[in-house]
Amino acid sequence: MPRFNPEDLASWSHGEWSSLPERPISGFSIDTRNLGNGDVFVAIKDQRDGHDFLSVAKSEGATGAMVSRVNSELGFPQLLTKDTLSAFHMIAKMHRRNFSGSVVGITGSCGKTSTKEMLSVLLGKERTVSTKGNLNNHLGVPLSLLSIDLDSDDFAVIEAGINQTGEMSVLADMINPDLGIITNIGSSHLEGLFSEEIVAQEKSEIFRSVENLKMVFFPEHCLEFEEFKEFHHSSSDCSMVLVEGRPSGKLEKNKSYFEFRTETNTTGNSSSLRLERDGFPVLNLKTCLMSKGMGSNLALALLAAMELGITEKDFFERLPQYAPSTMRGKVLSGRGRAYYVDCYNANPTSMRDSLSFFSESQNGCPKLYVIGGMEELGESEIQLHQSVGQSINLKSKDLVILIGEKAGWMSGGILKNGASTEQVVLLQNKEDARSIIEDFDGSVLFKGSRSSRLESLVPEWAV
């Protein structure tokens, strides 16, 4: 459990305690509903003003609070700072600087959370602290960093997500990663980031102007963007590009190669990954069933783990401990049918990856695609939905259900591929899809943005 010196907190935040806490400080919380024993409550002014909940924090057992205005009537230790969010960031930054272990920063347009989970397993969960869930923004990153135990943790795996320009530089400054992973660059959060070029510029902040950076890993398609291309050529000693396929000649020092495939056999489906890197043994690993995009993310996680000294023996022992979490590519079954549930979030990159995986892995049976819309795509949202629709190729016994207006924009692309109008069902109310799903004799995919909450349509018998 972390421990924090009140005087250090005051120094780092340029603040002053109204009175020193009488109990040890072991953590921080921004929500009075999940205060832990020993937590300091940080009064953030966001959608609501945290200062309105100071009395609740005291009654819920907080050790103290960090504030920008003191409530002297409470008789409660309060660290007065000029701005609580900036002070919170600075405390997280300084705590990370005191950590002698290795920090891996992960970002990308999709796949961040799954990559974080895979890498945490490969490094050893018992000595690795990582982002909880997807708490990866300007509030989640400091919470994650402040959960590092300086005495017992060897690794920290921190996820960084953004939806506006300028955010990544703030997160990167706090994380200050030793290693960086960029899972991909795609059309995500375009309402605030506007274009893939700007997405690439912002994501590249995870490796630009970072003090301790030893190596950054990213897939080959990132080289289409100037920031990655320039970094790769100017900093080849700390840049590793992941290439799909086998090398045509001698292994290059700054490139790694992977092959990923799904195999069907008498005992069911599984996946396998082959990874080659100069100076390391060739890895051939069996994995749980996953998409090619997830396979790329696993290869990136393996490369980072290699860099941190994890051995081949460790990989074989630890990788079987990983399984996709609920709603992030988990395959369920029931009544002789397969249900592929990947509906935590969606953008064009993740949507195409899921569609391709589902189509290929369930090739021998009728398929039902249950699709919700993609959010935060800005002015290009209609075009991007139509483009994704063109990647759906229905066979004669396949069916697709498009739920909501945005998903409905995919219909034109699907019909262009030769599907009949009877195979494309447009619904506004997702509950109208339930009977179709439960009666369908074949495999079912659920894919859409979090707002669609398609997981509620998964039959209760699926486990």
Q: Is residue 267's pLDDT more than 60? A: no
Confidence of residue 266 (pLDDT cuts 50, 70, 90): very low
Top pLDDT among 266 and 166 is at 166
Indicate if 137 and 71 belong to the same structural domain.
no
Residues 63 and 105 in one domain: no
Q: Name the pLDDT band for 364 (thresholds 50, 70, 90).
A: confident
Per-residue exposure over 322-359, b if at least 16 CB sit within 10 Å of its own CB, e if not? bebeebbbbbbeeeebbbbbbbbbbbbbbbbbbbebbb
Band of the pLDDT at 457, cuts 50, 70, 90? very high
Residue 134 has a pLDDT of 82
DSSP 49: B
Provide the pLDDT confidence category of residue 137 given band limits of 50, 70 and 90: very high
pLDDT at residue 265 tops 60: no
Q: Which domain holds residue 301?
A: 99-321
Residue 146 lies inside a defined structural domain of this protein: yes
Pick from 299, 321, 343: which residue ends a domain? 321
CA distance 433 to 65: 48
Torsion of CA 309, 315, 320, 326, to 10 degrees: 40
Residues 165, 309 within the same domain: yes
What is the chain's mean pLDDT, rounded?
94
Residue 201 falls within a domain, yes or no? yes
**Cα separation of 91 and 351, whole Å?**
38
Helices H / strands E in the chain, number of each: 16, 20
Which is nearest to 208 in space by CA: 241, 183, 232? Answer: 232
The Cα 122–Cα 104 span in angstroms is 13
| Contact between residue 299 and residue 240 where contact means Cβ atoms under 8 Å apart | no
Query: Which of these three, 287, 321, 355, is where a domain ends?
Result: 321
| pTM for the model | 0.94
396-453 pLDDT per residue, tens: 999 999 999 999 999 999 999 999 999 999 999 999 999 999 999 999 999 999 999 9
For 427, the 3-state DSSP assignment is: strand
Q: Clarify whether residues 296 and 365 are in a common domain.
A: no
In a shared domain, residues 200 and 106: yes
239 and 179 within one domain: yes
268 — pLDDT class (breaks 50, 70, 90) = low
For residues 158 and 164, what is the distance between their CA atoms, to the nearest angstrom? 19
Query: In whole angstroms, how far apart are CA 447 and each of 344, 370, 398, 438?
Result: 8, 6, 16, 17
pLDDT of 40: 98
Let me know if residue 89 belongs to a domain.
no
Number of domains the chain contains: 3
